[in-house]
Structure 1
Amino acid sequence: MPFPIELKYIKEAEVELGVQFPKSFIEKMKKENGGEFSTDEDDWTIYPFFDKLDNKRISRTCNHIVLETNQLREIEGFPKNGIAIAENGCGDNLIMLPFQENQTEIREKIYIWLHETREIIEIANSIEDLIE
């Protein structure tokens, strides 16, 4: 169940990952940190930002964006500059990428990273295109 999050926790994640998330993604996550949605192809669980407000929120956000991204970056074929934002329970992840390899600014486009083939396929122009 998604719930609001304070901006400071999103900023902490940006520092840890060395990125700047797009405003549209930040605004969506501030209102609903985490949650689920479906596409024609799959059901997705959105990784939340780690929320340290209280023990309940800590336990509900233990599979957070920073943790999941860092774990995936250890896998050969995952883009070293990719940010994992959701998973389908079968190993595939929705990711965001920077405009250029060494930039910190993350683009709004959403991609699927297919774990079996290591393919990256653009699937949406922004998070709003997936979640309505």
Structure 2
Amino acid sequence: MPVDIKYIVETEKELNIGFPEKFREKMMLLNGGEVVTENDDWNLFPFFDKSDKKRISRTCDHIALETLNARKWAGFPENAVAIAANGCGDLLILKPSIHNTMILDETIFIWFHETGTIEALADPFDELEE
């Protein structure tokens, strides 16, 4: 289900960081969904869409909320943004760019909740299969 760019911008303001352009473009078209990796299936967190009750209900587990919750966990990388979960506690994350810490890098990482370790997964976002 598409999402209006204004909801992406609201999330960027709430988290004080910008999303990579390819991620924004893909999420504007789908706003959530699933991606499949070699070892797991992931549910993408949507951007919170407040345009009507149905969309509010469908997007209540949104990126900003899930990121703020994840930042409370021990070992979650500082300033990372959670974009997906596998249902077992692990998260797909984006981290700030080393060139501009106000923008998230395109590389997607897996954050393993049991160990607190991260592993590069894909670069850029469109390499993941839907």
> Shorter-chain TM-score: what band?
over 0.9
Residue of structure 2 in register with 1:47 after alignment = 45
Query: Is contact 1:91-1:115 (8 Å) kept?
Result: yes
Offset of residue 102 of structure 1: 7.8
Is 1:15–2:13 an aligned residue pair?
Answer: yes
How well do the aligned residues superpose, as a CA RMSD in angstroms? 1.3
**Structure 1 pair 81/73, CA: closer, same or farther in 2 (3 Å)?**
same
Contact 1:112 1:123 in 2 (8 A): yes
Do the aligned residues in 2 keep the contact of 1:82 with 1:98 (CA within 8 Å)? yes
Kindly provide the CA deviation profile for residues 12-59 of structure 1, in whole angstroms up to 9, marking residues without a partner as x: 000000001110000000000000121120010000000001000000
Counterpart of 2:111 (choices 110, 113, 123) is: 113
Query: In the alignment, which residue of structure 1 is the partner of 2:32?
Result: 34
CA distance in 2, matches of 1:22, 1:119: 23
The runs of 5 or more residues in structure 1 that have no matched partner are: none
Size of the aligned set, in residue pairs, is 130
User: What does 1:1-132 align with in structure 2 at a 5 Å threshold?
Assistant: 3-100=1-98, 103-131=101-129
Structure 1 residue 80 displacement after superposition: 1.8
> Does the aligned pair in 2 maintain the 1:49–1:64 contact within 8 Å?
yes
Letter in 2 for 1:66: A
Determine what percentage of the aligned residue pairs are the same residue.
52
Per-residue CA deviations over 1:79-124 (Å, capped at 9, x if unaligned) read: 1210000000000000000013981111000000000110110010
Cα–Cα, structure 1 residues 78 and 102, in superposed 2: closer, same or farther, change >3 Å?
farther
The one-letter code sitting in structure 2 at the alignment partner of 1:131 is E
Instruction: Give the structure-1-normalised TM-score.
Output: 0.95
Aligned equivalents of 2:96, 2:126: Cα separation in 1: 18
CA distance in 2, matches of 1:33, 1:111: 19
Q: Which amino acid is the alignment partner of residue 89 of structure 1?
A: G
